A and B are shown apart, each in its own frame.
Chain A
Amino acid sequence: MLDKVDVLIIGSGASGAAVAWSLADTRMRILCLEQGDWVKPSDYPSNGRDWEARLFSDFAINPNRRARPTDYPINDANSPIKVVNFNGVGGSTIMYTAHFPRMHPSDFKVRTLDGVADDWPIDYATLEPYFAENDRMMGVSGLAGDPAYPPKVPPMPPLPLGKSGARFGQAMNQLGWHWWPSDTTIATTDYEGRGRCINLGHCTPGCAQGAKASTDITYWPLAIRAGVELRTMCRVREITVDADGMASGAIYYDAEGKEQFQPAEVVILACNGVGTPRLMLNSVSAKFPNGIANSSGLVGKNLMFHPYALTYGYVEEPLDGNHGPPLCLWSQQFYETDKSRDFVRGYTFQFGRGVGAIMEAIVSANAGRLPWGEDHHAAYRKLVNRRIGLSAICEDLPEEHNRVTLDPVLKDSSGVPAPKLDYTISANSAKMMQHGIARAKEVLAAAGASNICVESPILNGGWHLLGTARMGTDPERSVVNEWGRCHDVKNLFIVDGSIWVTSGGVNPTSTIQALALYIADSIKQRLANLFD
């Protein structure tokens, strides 16, 4: 048996890294187990001529396609939206596009304001200092003064507008609609040892320049320097419990595939909204026959994505294509509930700069826009670098039938049962998506685009995995309390997107990390009576 640690964190991604760094100043013995490995910047696709092709192989966004030894399979056959993730140090911050909006104050009060779902047991004001701390740690670029948000001051200036951004800005002004430069975690100046963005453009599957913040280059170097141990290539099978029903540690397979038991005083789960319920449901004992900390029966339920409705078109003259970070603007024009619409809640528009030459060819071929034969060349030249598009990131409300369970057959390479998703898009979300598509067409028309195309939902659009171990004050209606501790197991915490009560309509990483920092602070403030 390995030496006991004070705190065992499972998962090194957005939330695991933040909680590890924050807890490091307690001088407790902290260990993080990560099923993946470090990724070297020199391994990122933008180093090579095959940079776009690798989106279909070892840097595919879908883990079933990528199928690295460090990935686990996901049965997503019963979901119109497929999971996007990455397994490695930094987790899915390796494989994100660095769009970094915060949740809004209203997102935490949806029951009070709109009579749907549940209010969160915490609010924006509680998280505000953690948002700011996280912005500093991750290095956020943006512009102060956005009327869609309470005041905030990003540490770096925004990404350039470029040709696409200017065209969108003019179109939105023509319509009289809100738009603003996005908060992103792409450094626009040299920042804390990271080089400034040089517009590699291929941001999602890792940044060779290091301008995009992934937690392997933000939180982890500081956490490790402060004494946290990060053990890679360790796949956790289950959380164990002692005779008193407290978490006693974790059983995992090490880099050689050898089973190990790691004892711990406190266990923190940071495996995302699919990985965490999978691990909890795999952690069966006499005390918890339906999975650890699952007396509510809600572990795995209320899975929320943000259904993405993508609308795009083509303009006459060349734009920026992939020559720059893909996302640089957002609009919150349709974010808050408007009772004149046929749906509640709302969505963010995120504006796309363009796509690369190969991606354009592949998507257009699949859509039937690109002929075979002599006409191919002329048709392609009217498409490449001329795409302009925007996506509605729609708020998904919690529904218990949308869930993560264990697949009865499918297993990972260690023999651990894989997650199975059952998910449908709700009527409210579907109406919201239609609204977003209609408004997006107006934007594109104002921007001078034609040949309008829609992908709704984006098939491989399950970036945001939320709600499967929800937060609340009622143990019968939630899995963790208002500071992330499981109701049933008082030394087991969850810090990832699983604990979200509702999803908001924004990319979640900023709020996930602010929550992790808040939970870490809550733990530190209660160290003397943490298990009471």
Chain B
Amino acid sequence: MQDQDLTAGQVRDLRALAGIIIPPSAVYGVPGADDERIFNDVLRSLDRDRGDIGRALAQLAGLAGGGFADLEPARRAEVASRFREAGGAPLAALVRVVLFCYYRDDRVMRSLGQEPRPPFPQGHVVEQGDWSLLDPVRARPRMYRSVD
């Protein structure tokens, strides 16, 4: 499976599963992981995980008895739950790619109060803090052992 593209059916299954892992939320005003922009990022980001994700989707299709995306919603949720319980490295790889694409989406980052930008060159501000907290430690006697 390594380095092979996903089939059209696997792409549909992956998108359906992504939407179950992270559905949209009206409460937080965020899309789901099956959102077109986010899902296209997922497909572009399979990279070293392509083989594992292919294996995970094959396992998912096996549990579904065919196309996972074609199942009725209730049955889909049931299969997804069994899939999650089965666990394994291929599933972990699939979830990882979904998560790192979801949580770098501009809309999602803004909803978390984060700026949608790379760390460089702007950086961040970290408060110095209260250095007087160290006073009791400064007052301690030396604590390293003598070797003489």
Seen from chain A, the residues whose Cβ lies within 8 Å of a Cβ on chain B are: 44, 46-53, 56-57, 65, 67, 104-106, 108-109, 112-113, 123-124, 143, 145, 147-150, 159-163, 165-166, 169-170, 172-173, 176, 178-181, 197-202, 208-209, 320, 322-324, 332, 335-336, 357-358, 361-362, 365-366, 372-374, 376-378, 381, 384
List residues of chain B with CB within 8 A of the CB of A322: 119
8 A-B pairs besides A178-B140, A199-B126 with CB distance below 8 A are A51-B118, A51-B119, A159-B126, A161-B130, A357-B103, A373-B21, A373-B77, A381-B28
The distance from the CB of A501 to the nearest CB of chain B, in whole angstroms, is 14
Docked CA distance A143–B88 (Å): 46
Q: Does B12 contact A (CB under 8 A)?
A: no
Docked CA distance A143–B137 (Å): 12
Q: Are A46 and B146 in contact (CB under 8 A)?
A: no
Q: Are A180 and B144 in contact (CB under 8 A)?
A: no
Contact of B129 among A106, A169, A176, A377 (CB under 8 A): A169
29 contacts between A and B (CB under 8 A): A49-B117, A52-B104, A57-B48, A65-B48, A104-B145, A106-B145, A112-B147, A145-B138, A147-B141, A148-B144, A149-B144, A160-B128, A161-B130, A163-B129, A166-B130, A169-B130, A169-B133, A172-B137, A198-B123, A201-B124, A208-B121, A209-B123, A323-B125, A324-B126, A332-B144, A357-B112, A358-B103, A374-B25, A377-B30
CB closest residue in chain B, given A123 = B147
Q: Are B48 and A166 in contact (CB under 8 A)?
A: no
Contact of A180 among B80, B95, B126, B134 (CB under 8 A): B134
Which 5 residue pairs across A and B have the least CB separation, nearest first? A161-B129, A198-B123, A323-B124, A324-B126, A200-B119
List residues of chain B with CB within 8 A of the CB of A108: 147
The distance from the CB of B101 to the nearest CB of chain A, in whole angstroms, is 8
Contact of A372 among B20, B92, B124, B143 (CB under 8 A): B20
Docked CA distance A324–B119 (Å): 10
Q: Are A202 and B134 in contact (CB under 8 A)?
A: no
List residues of chain A with CB within 8 A of the CB of B103: 357-358, 361
Docked CA distance A357–B30 (Å): 15
Q: Are A376 and B21 in contact (CB under 8 A)?
A: yes
List residues of chain B with CB within 8 A of the CB of A378: 27
Contact of A357 among B84, B109, B125 (CB under 8 A): B109
Q: Are B48 and A163 in contact (CB under 8 A)?
A: no
Contact of B144 among A106, A145, A324 (CB under 8 A): A106
Docked CA distance A196–B134 (Å): 24
The distance from the CB of B47 to the nearest CB of chain A, in whole angstroms, is 5
Q: Are B80 and A372 in contact (CB under 8 A)?
A: yes
List residues of chain A with CB within 8 A of the CB of B47: 56-57
Contact of A362 among B96, B121, B128 (CB under 8 A): B96
Q: Does B127 contact A (CB under 8 A)?
A: yes
List residues of chain B with CB within 8 A of the CB of A51: 118-119
* A336-B144 contact, Cβ under 8 Å, with A53-B104, A357-B112: yes
Q: Does B22 contact A (CB under 8 A)?
A: yes
Docked CA distance A50–B147 (Å): 49
Docked CA distance A46–B123 (Å): 9
The distance from the CB of B100 to the nearest CB of chain A, in whole angstroms, is 4
Q: Are B99 and A358 in contact (CB under 8 A)?
A: yes
Docked CA distance A113–B147 (Å): 8
Main secondary structure of the interface of A (DSSP, over half): loop
Contact of B126 among A47, A106, A323 (CB under 8 A): A323
CB closest residue in chain A, given B47 = A57
> Interface digits, B86-113 against A, CB 8 Å rule (1 contact, 0 not)?
0000001001100111111000010010
Q: Are A372 and B130 in contact (CB under 8 A)?
A: no
List residues of chain A with CB within 8 A of the CB of B95: 362, 365
Contact of A56 among B23, B77, B96, B128 (CB under 8 A): B96
Docked CA distance A44–B131 (Å): 32
Q: Are A384 and B118 in contact (CB under 8 A)?
A: no
Q: Are A384 and B127 in contact (CB under 8 A)?
A: no
The distance from the CB of A127 to the nearest CB of chain B, in whole angstroms, is 13
CB closest residue in chain B, given A47 = B120
List residues of chain A with CB within 8 A of the CB of B142: 147
The distance from the CB of B34 to the nearest CB of chain A, in whole angstroms, is 13
Q: Does B62 contact A (CB under 8 A)?
A: no
Docked CA distance A357–B146 (Å): 44
Q: Does B66 contact A (CB under 8 A)?
A: no
Q: Does B114 contact A (CB under 8 A)?
A: yes
The distance from the CB of B85 to the nearest CB of chain A, in whole angstroms, is 11
Contact of B120 among A52, A145, A149, A208 (CB under 8 A): A208
Q: Are A336 and B145 in contact (CB under 8 A)?
A: yes
Contact of B99 among A65, A109, A149, A362 (CB under 8 A): A362
* A365-B99 contact, Cβ under 8 Å, with A52-B104, A199-B126: yes
List residues of chain B with CB within 8 A of the CB of A47: 118, 120
Q: Does B45 contact A (CB under 8 A)?
A: yes
Q: Which of A51, A162, A376, A378 has the most CB of B within 10 A?
A: A376
Docked CA distance A377–B84 (Å): 18
Q: Are B147 and A109 in contact (CB under 8 A)?
A: yes
List residues of chain B with CB within 8 A of the CB of A149: 144
List residues of chain B with CB within 8 A of the CB of A209: 120-121, 123
Q: Are B125 and A199 in contact (CB under 8 A)?
A: yes
* A166-B126 contact, Cβ under 8 Å, with A51-B118, A57-B47, A366-B92: no
Q: Does B65 contact A (CB under 8 A)?
A: no
Q: Which of B84, B103, B109, B114 has the most CB of A within 10 A?
A: B103
List residues of chain B with CB within 8 A of the CB of A112: 147
CB closest residue in chain A, given B104 = A49
List residues of chain B with CB within 8 A of the CB of A52: 100, 104
Q: Are A381 and B112 in contact (CB under 8 A)?
A: yes
List residues of chain A with CB within 8 A of the CB of B136: 173, 176
